[in-house]
Amino acid sequence: MQVFFFLILSIFCLNNTYAAYPFPSKHHKISDKKAANFFTEIVTASVPAVVFIQVKLTPSSSWISSLWGNNEERAYIGSGFLITEDGYIITNEHVIQGADVITVTLSNQLQFDGVVIGADPISDIALIKIEAEGLPFLALADSDSIELGEWVAAIGSPFGLQSTVTFGIVSSLKKDKFQEPDTLQVNLSINPGNSGGPLLNLDGEVIGVSRSTWRYKEGFYTGLSFAIPSNVAKDTIEKLLDQELP
């Protein structure tokens, strides 16, 4: 009888233990998975507005260039993003600097000739245009509202790998010896070819323009990358369109 009593008591305690500590259901796991992939929808909507930029520089025909072996055609790559449906694109000034030919490739692989509308080496912002209509585009957010630790995504074409996405956070809002004025510090990877691409917030809006990575040693990833705040880009573009900048 005592054995039977303790058996019943053990079952009762076991049931109470499971009731007090319920295991997550399958429904909870699905919800957690969706929460973990919160960038998926943002990236899917944003990628079509991000472009791959290829630049060619015509070799100099001078005898001095020939003497020093500088008469070969040079090519560079970068990224950019559409800000209007009729083909206006923001990128870095250093991406298109000195360009003779600019080829813009959309995410659907359609290619267009790019024309420089204006460029500002101080802010490192340039505005180029392609002849097309009905294009997807990205909105520019207020970069003054950025918070430390905010999640961000960068889309671009590092080493020519088009529509590559990286994630990270805003690492610092302070200015230090590595940073120039009006620069965002982030911990995601910005490699050659990423320059000029968008830095997106959780609303899918552009809060910055990818610019560079601090490299301590060759091949050594520092986790220090930099972007130009969207408000700086907006101000520069407005001045370029109004021809207030040279």
192 neighbors 228 (Cβ within 8 angstroms): no
Neighbouring residues of 75: CB distance < 8 A, sequence distance ≥ 6? 54, 55, 56, 57
Q: Which two tokens stand for residue 75?
A: 């090519």
Q: Alpha-carbon distance 176 to 107, whole Å?
A: 36
180 neighbors 214 (Cβ within 8 angstroms): no
Q: Alpha-carbon distance 220 to 204, whole Å?
A: 30
Using CA atoms, how far residue 21 sits from 15, 35, 172, 222, in Å, is 10, 23, 40, 43
Neighbouring residues of 115: CB distance < 8 A, sequence distance ≥ 6? 102, 128, 129, 130
Active site residues: 94, 124, 195
